[in-house]
Amino acid sequence: MEWNLYAQLMEEYDSSLTYDGIDGERLASRLHAISKIGLTPDGGSQRPGFSKEEKQAKALVKQWMSEAGLTITEDGAGNVFGRLEGKQPGLPAVLSGSHVDSVPNGGHFDGPLGVLSSLEVVEAWNERGYQPERSYEVVIFSDEEGARFNNGLTGSRAMTGEVDREIQEGLVDQNDVSFGEALKEVGLSSEGFFNAKRNLDEVSHFVEVHIEQGRILEQKNLPAGIVSGIAGPSWLEITFEGTAGHAGNTPMTERRDPLVAAGEFVSNIHYLPKEVSRTAVATVGKLNVQPNGANVIAGKVHLIVDIRDIYEDTRDQLVELVTQQADRIADKYGVTMEGKQILKVAPVPIAPKYTDLLQHTFNNLGMDSHLLPSGAGHDALIVGHQIPVSMLFVRSKDGISHTPEEWSSLNDCVQTVHVLKRYIETHINQ
């Protein structure tokens, strides 16, 4: 069967949602057009950051931007800005958008939906002859997913200056291609990349629409929700070291088995997050056992604990609790423990001022509002370190994302665009 995201989206569309200049059919056809770039045999999307597919998707959006009368600029990181001049162009602008890159064999909504929602607001304004007070820019951030270099949010970090040059230049992909080489492949340069920092006095607010990638909205039976904060990840690399030995010849009393310690540690930290807050989480998803033999007592176990919360103090409190737990368990089993923080990104709680205004917007449109945290990082997390941000989530079917099965109904998407447009016109544009 031929790939047709458009037909699938339109099948269940309630066309009464096309009003006020916002057109569900246009949104569907654009999601479809992007879905064909990097389409995999499984019906997924394959547009890694700084690939020719990502560049092609950007080019397509740029074409729509220019048809909508936007002035397009591109910075040294390949971030694209389509600007609609406001009545008061001297005022800091409102930015809205997301990304068009994907994880390998990912879905068709994570990223493109945010960019196209922001663009749909312009289309609606054009249709109604509306000019905002502040200038408005639709933005496409480069390489949000970071699939190629295990290091994402690249475009938003470049724009806000949150880049460690040494780390960034040291990155290589699995084919040993350096980050600098990858930039060159798509016509960018290291020099341009490291000079992409924008004067953020020019920007008053950033608002991002994104799929939820979780099940909360589905459970609440709501098309969209308001993000209360974006969790910042903290990664703790923990190594338990004991004594490797033969599984048959070493009596139980004489063992220093780091895998027993790691096992108890993993199951214990499952219960720690709720001690610090209702939104905190901790996960061990990666564990490396050495030498990893069926009849060998392990000598060393490396693991990474991913710890997140939308509040920095409780997130850091949890890091502390997890470290104490690792120490205690290492003692109990006579093994050594070494802990090292390898990643630490500050979370962004979204100011109640903005979540309140979003709640009003939902209610004015006759929609129920619900606040929920974002456990995943987004460009709004990085931008939010420096300027006020807000974020809207669209319901995800079965909470699935980063796979070809990722799905949000066109009804849910279009309702969210109505919220976005109304929110900007009424509250953010002032």
**Residues at the interface with Zn ion (CB under 5 A):** 110-111
Q: Is 343 helix (H, G, I), strand (E, B) or coil?
A: strand
CB of 212 to Zn ion, least distance (A): 11
The whole-angstrom separation of Cα 343 and Cα 236 is 7
Least Cβ distance, residue 182 to Zn ion (angstroms): 20
Q: Which CB sits closer to Zn ion, 239 or 401? A: 401
User: Which strand (E) or helix (H) includes residue 63?
Assistant: helix 52-67
Nearer to Zn ion, 111 or 229 (CB): 111
Closest CA to 372 of 399, 338, 346, 407: 399
Q: Smallest Cα–Cα separation from 34: which of 10, 8, 58, 12?
A: 58
Min CB(181)–Zn ion separation in Å: 25
End-to-end CA distance of the chain: 49
CB of 210 to Zn ion, least distance (A): 6
Which of residues 111 and 146 has its CB atom nearest to Zn ion in the complex?
111
Helix, strand, or coil (residue 76): coil
Q: How far is the CB of 378 from Zn ion (least distance, A)?
A: 6
DSSP 274: H
Give Cα separations from 225 to 122, 242, 315, 340, 362 (angstroms): 22, 48, 23, 36, 9
Least CB distance to Zn ion at residue 117 (A): 13
Residue-wise DSSP of 97-138: EEE----TTB-SSTTHHHHHHHHHHHHHHHHHT---SS-EEE
Closest of 241, 238, 339, 239 to residue 298, by C-alpha: 241
SS3 category, 239: strand
Nearer to Zn ion, 110 or 406 (CB): 110
Please name every residue paired with 399 in a beta bridge, in sequence order, or none if there are none.
none
Find the shortest distance in angstroms from Cβ 120 to Zn ion. 18
CB of 225 to Zn ion, least distance (A): 16
Q: Can you read off the two tokens belonging to residue 325?
A: 């737990």
The answer to whether 142 and 156 are in contact (CB under 8 A) is: no
Is 17 or 100 the residue whose CB approaches Zn ion more closely? 100
Is 160 or 239 the residue whose CB approaches Zn ion more closely?
160
Q: Which residue is nearest to Zn ion (CB)?
A: 110
Q: Which is nearer to Zn ion, 38 or 111 (CB)?
A: 111
Shortest distance, position 110 Cβ to Zn ion, whole Å: 4
Cα gap 417→365, rounded to integer Å: 12
Cβ pair 267, 411 in contact under 8 A: no
Lookup: tokens for 259: 């895998």
| Paired tokens of 351 | 């100011």
Structure tokens at 61: 């959006």
Nearer to Zn ion, 123 or 212 (CB): 212
Q: Which is nearer to Zn ion, 137 or 212 (CB)?
A: 212
